[in-house]
C-alpha cells in the first residue's frame, strides 16, 4: 500500500498542515493518480477562511484542492478509458456537496478522481501545464453549456460557425481563458475584456475583439462593436463584471443572460482567525447590498443572471462532455491549450499555502502551480 501525505485542514478555519493520509483505493468509475502537479485557486483560500459559510457540508479534517495532474496508479471497476501509467489531468471533486470526501481533494500525493471528470494528456503537455486546466474549464463549462445557464452548443472538432457572439468579461483569467477556447470550439465568436498588455494573449486564444476593462467607455465600446450582431449572453468574471455585463447585454440583440463566476464583493480580506468578525460583517453587508443592487439593475434591463457553481458538472452531462468527449482529442491535436500559463512557485505540499498567499496578492494571465 503506497504511503500518502496530504495538506490537511484539521478544523474549520484552521491552518494548513502537512501530515499522513490514508491511501484510498478506487471504487466503481474512479481512478487513483499519483499527483505530480497541483494548481491553486481563489476557492482554495476561501474554503479555509469561509468554509463554514460557502461549503458548510465539509467535515473536518479535510483535504481541499481541485486542480491536479499526474499518473494513473489504479483503476476502479467499469473504467475503460484509463490504464495504470496513463498521464492525466482531472477535477478533484472532494469539496462538492455530493462527494464530501477528503480522498478526492487535490492537495495530496495520491488523489481519487472520478473517471468522467478526468482527461488524458499528451506527452507534449507537461504535468505543470496541465494542472491549470480543471477548475477553470469546469467553471467556464458550467456557465456556457448547462441547460439552466447559456445552454450553448457543445464544443467539438467539427462545430459549424453560428454567427453569434459570446461576451466574456475577464478573458485573461483562468475561467476566461478556458471560456474563450470552449466558445470558439463550439462555433461562437467571442468578445472579451482584459488589460491592454493581455490583448494579444486573449486574441491568441480565439477572441475576435478585446477591450480594456479599465476604460470609462468600455461598455459603450463593446455595445457599438456588437451592433447588428446577435449575442448568446455573457460570462462575467471578476469584481464589477456582472453589473457591466448586465449593462452590455441589456443593450444588445439576443439572449439577455449573464452567467456569473464571481460574487458581487471580494472576501479576500476576511481572515480565518483574529479580526475575522471585524472584516466579515462589512463583507456580508457589501454582499447583500451588491446583490440587491445587481438584481434591481438586471430587472430594469430585463436581463437574467445566475451564479455559477464550478463543480455542478460533476452531476450532469456537461462533465463527460468536456473531460471525455472534448478535452482528450482537443489537447492531443492542440485545438485547445492549457491556459493561462503555469508559474511554478515551489515543490512539495508545504509550498501550497505559499502559492495561495502569493495568489491573494494578485496575478495576471498566469496560474500558480506547485509540483509534487
- CATH code assigned at 64: 3.90.180.10
Tell me which H or E stretch contains 319.
helix 318-320
Q: Is 59 within the bounds of a domain? A: yes
Same domain? 128 vs 201: no
- Residue 234 region by backbone torsions, left for phi larger than 0, else alpha for psi between -120 and 50, else beta: beta
Asked if the model's pLDDT at residue 78 lies above 90, the reply is yes
Domain tally for the chain? 2
CATH number, domain with residue 169: 3.40.50.720
* pLDDT at site 199: 97
Tens-digit pLDDT profile for residues 178-189: 999 999 999 999
Q: Say which residues have a Cβ less than 8 Å from residue 365's Cβ, sequence separation at least 6.
A: 172, 177, 194, 198, 201, 340, 341
* Alpha-carbon distance values, 190 to 107, 178, 186, 255, 256 (Å): 34, 12, 11, 14, 16
* Final residue of a structural domain among 256, 291, 307: 307
Look over the chain and give the mean of its residue pLDDT values, rounded to a whole number: 94
Instruction: Tell which residue, 324, 333, 321, has the closest CA to residue 155.
Output: 321
Bridge-based pairing of strands 87-91 and 230-236 is: unpaired
Q: Is 323 within the bounds of a domain? A: no
Tens-digit pLDDT profile for residues 301-356: 999 999 999 999 999 999 999 999 999 999 999 999 999 999 999 999 999 999 99
Same domain? 145 vs 276: yes
Q: Say which residues have a Cβ less than 8 Å from residue 362's Cβ, sequence separation at least 6.
A: none
* pLDDT at site 287: 85
Asked if the model's pLDDT at residue 372 lies above 90, the reply is yes
Same domain? 196 vs 151: yes
Angle between helices 241-249 and 218-225 (to 10 degrees): 40
Same domain? 216 vs 365: no
Same domain? 348 vs 249: no
Judged on CB neighbours under 10 Å (0-12, 13-18, 19+), 361 is exposed
Q: Is 86 within the bounds of a domain? A: yes
Tens-digit pLDDT profile for residues 148-186: 999 999 999 999 999 999 999 999 999 999 999 999 999
What is the domain range of residue 178?
137-307
Tens-digit pLDDT profile for residues 17-42: 999 999 999 999 999 999 999 999 99
Kindly state the DSSP code that residue 182 receives in the 8-state scheme: H
* pLDDT at site 214: 95
Tens-digit pLDDT profile for residues 228-238: 999 999 999 99
Asked if the model's pLDDT at residue 277 lies above 90, the reply is no
Give percent of the chain with pLDDT exceeding 90.
84
Amino acid at each position: 500500500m503506497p504511503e500518502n501525505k496530504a495538506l490537511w485542514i484539521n478544523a474549520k478555519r484552521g491552518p494548513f498542515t502537512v501530515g499522513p493520509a490514508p491511501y484510498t483505493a478506487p471504487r466503481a468509475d474512479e481512478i487513483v493518480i499519483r499527483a505530480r502537479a497541483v494548481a491553486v485557486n481563489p476557492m482554495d483560500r476561501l474554503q479555509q477562511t469561509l468554509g463554514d459559510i460557502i461549503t458548510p457540508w465539509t467535515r473536518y479534517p479535510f483535504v481541499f484542492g481541485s486542480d491536479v495532474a499526474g499518473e494513473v496508479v489504479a483503476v476502479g471497476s467499469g473504467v475503460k478509458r484509463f490504464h495504470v501509467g496513463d498521464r492525466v489531468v482531472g477535477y478533484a471533486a472532494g469539496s462538492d456537496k455530493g462527494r464530501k470526501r477528503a480522498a478526492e481533494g487535490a492537495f495530496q500525493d495520491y488523489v481519487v478522481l472520478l473517471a468522467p471528470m478526468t482527461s488524458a494528456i499528451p506527452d507534449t503537455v507537461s504535468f505543470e501545464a496541465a494542472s491549470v486546466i480543471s477548475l477553470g474549464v469546469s467553471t467556464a463549462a458550467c456557465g456556457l453549456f448547462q441547460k439552466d445557464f447559456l445552454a450553448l452548443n457543445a464544443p467539438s472538432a467539427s462545430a459549424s460557425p453560428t454567427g453569434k457572439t459570446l461576451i466574456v468579461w475577464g478573458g485573461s483569467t483562468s475561467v476566461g481563458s478556458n471560456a474563450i477556447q470552449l466558445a470558439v470550439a463550439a462555433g461562437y465568436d467571442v468578445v472579451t475584456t482584459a488589460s491592454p498588455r493581455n490583448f494579444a494573449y486573449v486574441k491568441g486564444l480565439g477572441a475576435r475583439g478585446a477591450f480594456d476593462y479599465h476604460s470609462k467607455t468600455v461598455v459603450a465600446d463593446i455595445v457599438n462593436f456588437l451592433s447588428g450582431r446577435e449575442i448568446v449572453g455573457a460570462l462575467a468574471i471578476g469584481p464589477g463584471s456582472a453589473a457591466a455585463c448586465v449593462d452590455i447585454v441589456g443593450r444588445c440583440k439576443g439572449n439577455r443572460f449573464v452567467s456569473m463566476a464571481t460574487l458581487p464583493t471580494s472576501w479576500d480580506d476576511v481572515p480565518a482567525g483574529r479580526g475575522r468578525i471585524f472584516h466579515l460583517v462589512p463583507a456580508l453587508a457589501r454582499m447583500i447590498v451588491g446583490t440587491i443592487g445587481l438584481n434591481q439593475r438586471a430587472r430594469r434591463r430585463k436581463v437574467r443572471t445566475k451564479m455559477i457553481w464550478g463543480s455542478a458538472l460533476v452531476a450532469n452531462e456537461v462533465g463527460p462532455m468536456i473531460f471525455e468527449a472534448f478535452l482528450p482529442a482537443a489537447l492531443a491535436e492542440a485545438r485547445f491549450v492549457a491556459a493561462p500559463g503555469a508559474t511554478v512557485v515551489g515543490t512539495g505540499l508545504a509550498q501550497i499555502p505559499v502559492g495561495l498567499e502569493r495568489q491573494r496578492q494578485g496575478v495576471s494571465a498566469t496560474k500558480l502551480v506547485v509540483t509534487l
